[in-house]
Amino acid sequence: MYLPRLRDLREDSDLTQRQVAEILGIDQRVYSTYETGKRDLPLQHLITLADFYHVTTDYLLGRI
């Protein structure tokens, strides 16, 4: 599932993929696959990022 808001939020926060990957406790290459939609974002990471960016999971999923 492609989640374009992941990249937008990261860039708006002036963060690198490596920095966000560290927050999630994963490798930057894995995080990159989430941004490009090559791999689905696990539920726990979705929740962590929603909390980190102060948005809802629905927003990250493009539902609102």
Sequence ranges of the domains in the chain: 4-60
How high is the pLDDT of residue 54?
A: 98
C-alpha–C-alpha distance, residues 14 and 61, integer Å = 21
CATH topology classification for 4-60: 434 Repressor (Amino-terminal Domain) (1.10.260)
Q: Hey, how many other C-beta atoms are within 10 angstroms of the C-beta on 49? A: 23
State pLDDT tens for residues 3-58. 889 999 999 999 999 999 999 999 999 999 999 999 999 999 999 999 999 999 99
Element (H, E) at 60: helix 57-60
How confident is the model at residue 3, as a pLDDT? Answer: 87
Q: In whole angstroms, give the CA distance from residue 56 to residue 32.
A: 21
Helix (H) or strand (E) holding 8: helix 4-12
Question: Quick one: angle between helices 4-12 and 43-53, nearest 10?
Answer: 30
Dump pLDDT digits (tens) for 29-40: 999 999 999 999
